[in-house]
A and B are shown apart, each in its own frame.
Chain A
Amino acid sequence: MRERRLVESAGTGDRSAFTELYARHRDLVYGLALRLTGERDLAEEVLLESFAAAWVNLPRFRGDSGFGTWVCGIAVNRARDATRTRTRRRSRVVAVDPARFGAGVAAWTDGARHAETRIDLERAIAGLPPGAREALVLRHVHGFSCAEAAAIMGVTEGTVKSQTSRACALLRETLEHD
């Protein structure tokens, strides 16, 4: 069934339609939540809370954006709330470990396909400041346009660009330091 029809049905209380929407978007939202929070338990909480909120608010969803974009926006806000309540990030699943960046820039430019390098990159992304991380993940991992990312983050497109460029600069710096 087309997504628009699913959204309409779910908005009128059709739980099977909502379950289908969940099945289609859960891994994307979980991926986003895990990258933004850095903790599995928080990411699970964000995933659950995001879809629970989507269910309640679907009747008011106007369809200005796709359902996926809309629910990702909810997830970003929930991830911010969730991480804000944590005083420490000690149990980060993808905690930054500078010792893992020994390969340096050459490794990820020449061999980014290797799993180990990808893990290093994930760790470096996890170590970014929240705003820079949000912008980079939304723009370049999830592929949202600058305008979509701005709408999701609730900032201007200029802020998205500046946060993304900052993220790139920080990543370069992190990966260059052995």
Chain B
Amino acid sequence: MTEHLTDLEIYDLAGGVAASPARAAHAADCAACAAQVEETRGLLEAVAELDPRIEAPARIESELDRRIGERPQGPRRVSVSRFRAAAVAILCFAGGALAHAGWTGGAAGGNADDRLGVRALDVQQAGTEYVVAIARLADDANRLSPADRRAGREVALAAMSGAAYELGRLSGPDPITADIHRLIEKAWLGPAGGAP
């Protein structure tokens, strides 16, 4: 009697792969090998009936959404978008400040009360966008490099300093406004008050 079938030969025969005539003859003559081929065939049928799909937990999708949102096109893009947010904040602030300057300068034309309302609204809108942009910057601060974080902070403080300066012009001699401006300048330029 020839040697019993190997595991690979049993697997091949169970899958319908033709063996050499000698090995096929052995499989036909040897009850033990024939049984193993049949068992393997049944086993493979049973395995094939297992559902490859298993329902994934729903929360993974939101976690994935958060993960892919962190780095849409690589880390550098994230930094750039944060600076863009800061730049938008400054532009909004500048728009608000210019609107305010136009109002205090008494621009010609139109009713003074109406102009006041429009200017105040402009400043309010600019201020809101500024706060939102800074909040976004703060939310993502932990994902920025230390250098980007420092730069973002400087940009924000520069905008805040400008706002405090304009606020001082608006309110006149006011110690509280002056203190706010001084504190922001200190945080921005450092205790020595050096240029950035």
Binding site for B on A (CB under 8 A): 13, 15, 18-19, 22, 26-32, 34, 44, 47-48, 51-52, 55-56, 105, 108-109, 112-113, 117-118, 121-122, 125, 136, 140-143, 161-162, 164-166, 168-169, 171-172, 175
Q: Which residues of chain A come closer than 8 Å to B71, judged between CB atoms? A: 56
Q: Which residues of chain B come closer than 8 Å to A52, judged between CB atoms? A: 64, 67-68
Instruction: Compute how far the CA of A113 lies from the CA of B71 in the bound complex, rounded to whole angstroms.
Output: 45
Instruction: Compute how far the CA of A162 lies from the CA of B10 in the bound complex, rounded to whole angstroms.
Output: 11
Does B142 have its Cβ within 8 Å of any Cβ on chain A? no
**Are B45 and A112 in contact, with the CB atoms below 8 A?**
yes
Q: Which residues of chain B come closer than 8 Å to A27, judged between CB atoms? A: 53-56
The 8 closest A-B CB pairs, nearest first, are A109-B42, A165-B11, A112-B46, A30-B56, A27-B53, A31-B54, A169-B7, A165-B7
Interface of A is mostly: helix
- Closest chain A residue, CB of each to CB of B17: A161
**Are A48 and B60 in contact, with the CB atoms below 8 A?**
yes
Q: Which residues of chain A come closer than 8 Å to B57, judged between CB atoms? A: 44
Total A-B pairs in contact (CB under 8 Å)? 112
Instruction: Compute how far the CA of A164 lies from the CA of B55 in the bound complex, rounded to whole angstroms.
Output: 26
Shortest Cβ distance from B49 into chain A, in angstroms? 6
Instruction: Compute how far the CA of A136 lies from the CA of B11 in the bound complex, rounded to whole angstroms.
Output: 11
Contact mask for chain B residues 42-84; partner A; CB cutoff 8 A; 1 contact, 0 none: 1111111111111111001101110111011100000000000
Shortest Cβ distance from A134 into chain B, in angstroms? 13
**Are B47 and A140 in contact, with the CB atoms below 8 A?**
yes
Q: Which residues of chain A come closer than 8 Å to B140, judged between CB atoms? A: none
**Are B61 and A26 in contact, with the CB atoms below 8 A?**
yes
5 A-B pairs besides A48-B63, A171-B43 with CB distance below 8 A are: A15-B69, A22-B61, A44-B60, A118-B46, A118-B49
Instruction: Compute how far the CA of A44 lies from the CA of B104 in the bound complex, rounded to whole angstroms.
Output: 61
Q: Which residues of chain B come closer than 8 Å to A169, judged between CB atoms? A: 7, 10
Q: Which residues of chain B come closer than 8 Å to A166, judged between CB atoms? A: 7
**Are B64 and A31 in contact, with the CB atoms below 8 A?**
no
Shortest Cβ distance from A135 into chain B, in angstroms? 11
Does B179 have its Cβ within 8 Å of any Cβ on chain A? no
**Are B48 and A30 in contact, with the CB atoms below 8 A?**
no
Does B14 have its Cβ within 8 Å of any Cβ on chain A? yes
- Closest chain A residue, CB of each to CB of B68: A55
Instruction: Compute how far the CA of A50 lies from the CA of B48 in the bound complex, rounded to whole angstroms.
Output: 24
Instruction: Compute how far the CA of A15 lies from the CA of B68 in the bound complex, rounded to whole angstroms.
Output: 9
Instruction: Compute how far the CA of A34 lies from the CA of B63 in the bound complex, rounded to whole angstroms.
Output: 18
Q: A26-B56, A168-B44 are in contact. Are A31 and B51 (CB under 8 A)?
A: yes
- Closest chain B residue, CB of each to CB of A10: B68
Shortest Cβ distance from B178 into chain A, in angstroms? 48
**Are A121 and B50 in contact, with the CB atoms below 8 A?**
yes
What are 21 contact pairs spanning A and B, CB under 8 A? A15-B68, A18-B68, A22-B64, A26-B56, A32-B52, A44-B56, A48-B67, A51-B64, A52-B64, A52-B68, A55-B67, A105-B42, A109-B38, A109-B39, A112-B45, A112-B46, A121-B46, A141-B50, A142-B52, A165-B8, A165-B10
Instruction: Compute how far the CA of A14 lies from the CA of B61 in the bound complex, rounded to whole angstroms.
Output: 16
**Are B14 and A168 in contact, with the CB atoms below 8 A?**
yes
Instruction: Compute how far the CA of A166 lies from the CA of B6 in the bound complex, rounded to whole angstroms.
Output: 10
